[in-house]
Structure 1
């Protein structure tokens, strides 16, 4: 009789998060022992899990990593192959594999398909002495290989590097080179791919759908089958869990259900996203940052912070005190921006000589390949210039009083700028920031026993942050009341509340209801009109403009009561077609208040469905509105819009929060128009592409079809933002060949510094 397979996995050392505890516990719960090999002390090991020294398998301190991601995954790929050779009856599982049913597999190969053509190695057993096992061991014995399965361009580059005497180390090769890539290649070579278990055995939720685990349980349950014995939970979800869910399992999600079933308390071992709140206790000493700590940490991952910036372009970025060289490098690579170091010390003063931290900042960025012409050290307040992004990490707001930043911010922080900083609880930083704009917490954690937050401030004029707008005198010709009264004319009307106003101009039998921010209209538009006013007028459409006096999300009884009155009075019945339109906050308004006109059509760009934190705990961008009441008939736009004849949602699926809001609109009347890599400010992107008016026109007229939309969206191929984001996405997914193809295409049509530097960096 063949003994059951032993289960084993690896954790180099340190604290296990609730996700690893959950997976380890699941094997114990189902009556199957599991061994956890480790090289350092491990905290949080569930009861019933056997802990053993990894040196029993590989006696080494050389934990080879993928250089770009600073990940132990490369060593783990090697460890599992050696483990299955030295422990022939072992079945390997990753620490993010959840046991659905006891893994009762006989001797021989055990692996599964993650896609029709790719084998994954998160669950792996190899037949002892098999050709597959020998080939993998031989392949991994060479740390500078030229793998046959890599793209030809990479193989040619690696051969050229070997000829030049600088062979490429495996740690610099694409993700999966010792993992799924190698397993798939050698399984094909030895003709054993037919032994791979089907996708629903271990990977019923594909990597691209990994966020399903953060959704309600039925999203995942319907993908499982009787053949599902293990479930790869994709540890890359930890980025979203750490960045958007405070390190916990989203309430009522599939992961939350598993934790409750296994008796795991996520709050006891929360996830801290890699690269987030990873503060160095030695980073700040007195008034300056040490040169050693100012060197760039390649492991730092600022993707969530960069996403929270919500900027289409960055031309100037300043690092206060030289605390964030890795963030500077990330922004330089993403936006091709100039980098400045404001050489400030405690008290907000500038030293007479360049400080050690500023020098280390400069040296580290030069060593990382940033041209000297793109770097500048500012040593005098008089030389401070406006910046798109300003950062102070673990400095002002933590070790130095944040008020000392005031003189610098008065010169450098303009409306639309972003400030990234760390804040220690009790420092008084939040009240200081509130006067300058909207501060959103993107992560939080414990540092030296004290709660600390990483915050992104969107600078706004003081008048735009949840303010009250006094009624304006129509005798002042420059006031909105005067402008709106003139626009309304003798046939229209203008109504004004404390924070909001309505402007109606009748024209044709199509009514377009727009939702806008008064401050943007008055301060950022030359004509001081609601969005698209001239365009609506040119089409002969009637208009109803709803204006908010700040970032209110229209959560005002005056707005709700006015829409209810319009509904009851039959106002909307005078029109043959009514369209509610808006973007972002305005998109929320359009979808939410369409309930006042059942049968209307909705065109919403990057909308929020609600900002009720009990419903969307992952939405961390709009803290200014968290205190608003999103109840009532116009509260949750995903539900109130269900009475509309059609709901057209335009959004970028790569903006996670926007995609999550779009997913909440589940009515049969919903059509989702995906606009990849055009960002949250999708309306601005479409406008710059020259297609926004066409999209809106076709939608208002009811003629927007998939074919029409695809044709209009083709303009993105030559849109600089899309090209840049496509290249960045390719790099994030380790598709350097695709990034180079984009660069070559762009440079064949125009000179572009970003793509010139990208090509130089990759070649």
Structure 2
């Protein structure tokens, strides 16, 4: 637990001496959890990340350059980061050594005035479970699991719930405990279990993304920088631009490949495919409306000016420009008039 010893000594220094000791980085291994940290400036946010499911990192995979989930992203934003990477497939951050580490760590974070948490799925559980202990101010959670305590979430019948029962779901930090933390939870409301978990995070701002699923096509969303852009906005500004977020998800839904990926991910569910088909039809109409709205905002005057200026010497070029203008603004009477004149 090198970090605890370093922080304990660091706290005895004056503010100037503390800053002189930075940057500092390192890593620890706590049972089945690898911890990597980097401190650059106590006046900047301190971000905690917990890794999501879907990885099977083993101890022999670890090396000095290994980066837990979220570490590189935070490092690029030049903020302080403590990242927790679970080892193995079934690991829910329930280790007593990890809990002891976090309890000691929580007492050594006084120089940091802004503490953030970011996690997906199982990582969202980690952030939510330890948020109050760590004194987090803001959190960003993507389709998080709130707990695997069957008494609290009897409707969570995923196979991962049964597998997770080998851990203690009665002891400390087994359920969400946000304390005073505010922030955002992003999930797909058509996913019943995700929606039920999300309801338990009532103090957060809920941002819904229809068709997002739960890990069914996270790689696809990542391809368009969906997670990354929202996370950067949150890390740098401690808030999400909701208007921009809604525009981003709207644009994403206009991509035909989006529905192909969703249909493939839900091929075994006729009910889900029917819902996706209805959503697709609705969005085709919405897309047409959106395109018309966008076209109305385009200023075609420069194209008209150039076409009219050169229509005598270069009539063919003028016609081509006017044809482009017509595609952008099909109902513009001036474009129609100029085309008739040249014809």
TM range (shorter): 0.5 to 0.7
Task: Give the TM-score, by structure 1 length.
Answer: 0.30
Number of the residue aligned with 2:98: 559
Q: State how far apart, in whole Å, the 1-side matches of 2:234 and 2:23 are.
A: 30
Q: State how far apart, in whole Å, the 2-side matches of 1:712 and 1:520 are.
A: 32
Deviations 1:670-705 (A, max 9, x none): 111111101112753431222322201222222313
Number of the residue aligned with 2:253: 717
Higher RCO (Cα < 8 Å, 6 or more apart): 2
Aligned ranges 1:199-278 → 2 under 5 Å: none
Contact 1:585 1:608 in 2 (8 A): yes
Equivalent position to 1:645, from 181, 188, 191: 181
Number of the residue aligned with 1:511: 46
1:676 aligns with 2:210: yes
Number of the residue aligned with 1:500: 33
Deviations 1:543-588 (A, max 9, x none): 10112112211011112111110112x32x2223111111111111
Number of the residue aligned with 1:577: 114
Q: State how far apart, in whole Å, the 2-side matches of 1:491 and 1:611 are.
A: 36
1:635 aligns with 2:170: no
Q: State how far apart, in whole Å, the 2-side matches of 1:552 and 1:514 are.
A: 15
1:602 aligns with 2:148: no
Contact 2:253 2:283 in 1 (8 A): no
Deviation at 1:598, TM superposition (A): 2.3
1:705 aligns with 2:241: yes
Q: State how far apart, in whole Å, the 2-side matches of 1:563 and 1:536 are.
A: 20
Deviations 1:27-68 (A, max 9, x none): xxxxxxxxxxxxxxxxxxxxxxxxxxxxxxxxxxxxxxxxxx
Q: State how far apart, in whole Å, the 2-side matches of 1:742 and 1:505 are.
A: 46
1:542 aligns with 2:80: yes
Deviation at 1:495, TM superposition (A): 2.2
**Judging changes above 3 Å, is the alpha-carbon distance between structure 1 residues 734 and 703 closer, same or farther for their aligned structure 2 residues?**
closer
Contact 1:514 1:590 in 2 (8 A): yes
Q: State how far apart, in whole Å, the 1-side matches of 2:72 and 2:276 are.
A: 45
Number of the residue aligned with 1:113: none
Q: State how far apart, in whole Å, the 2-side matches of 1:703 and 1:585 are.
A: 22
Q: State how far apart, in whole Å, the 2-side matches of 1:652 and 1:738 are.
A: 16
Deviation at 1:630, TM superposition (A): 2.2
Contact 1:723 1:742 in 2 (8 A): no
Q: Which has the higher helix share?
A: 2
Root-mean-square deviation over aligned CA pairs: 3.4
Aligned ranges 1:84-99 → 2 under 5 Å: none
Contact 2:259 2:276 in 1 (8 A): no
Q: State how far apart, in whole Å, the 1-side matches of 2:80 and 2:272 are.
A: 45
Contact 2:36 2:68 in 1 (8 A): no
Number of the residue aligned with 1:626: 165
1:732 aligns with 2:279: no
1:529 aligns with 2:64: no
Contact 1:731 1:739 in 2 (8 A): no
Deviation at 1:720, TM superposition (A): 4.5
Q: State how far apart, in whole Å, the 1-side matches of 2:181 and 2:125 are.
A: 17
Q: State how far apart, in whole Å, the 2-side matches of 1:631 and 1:501 are.
A: 24
1:696 aligns with 2:231: yes
**Judging changes above 3 Å, is the alpha-carbon distance between structure 1 residues 685 and 593 closer, same or farther for their aligned structure 2 residues?**
farther
Deviations 1:366-406 (A, max 9, x none): xxxxxxxxxxxxxxxxxxxxxxxxxxxxxxxxxxxxxxxxx
Contact 1:689 1:719 in 2 (8 A): no
Q: State how far apart, in whole Å, the 1-side matches of 2:279 and 2:181 are.
A: 45
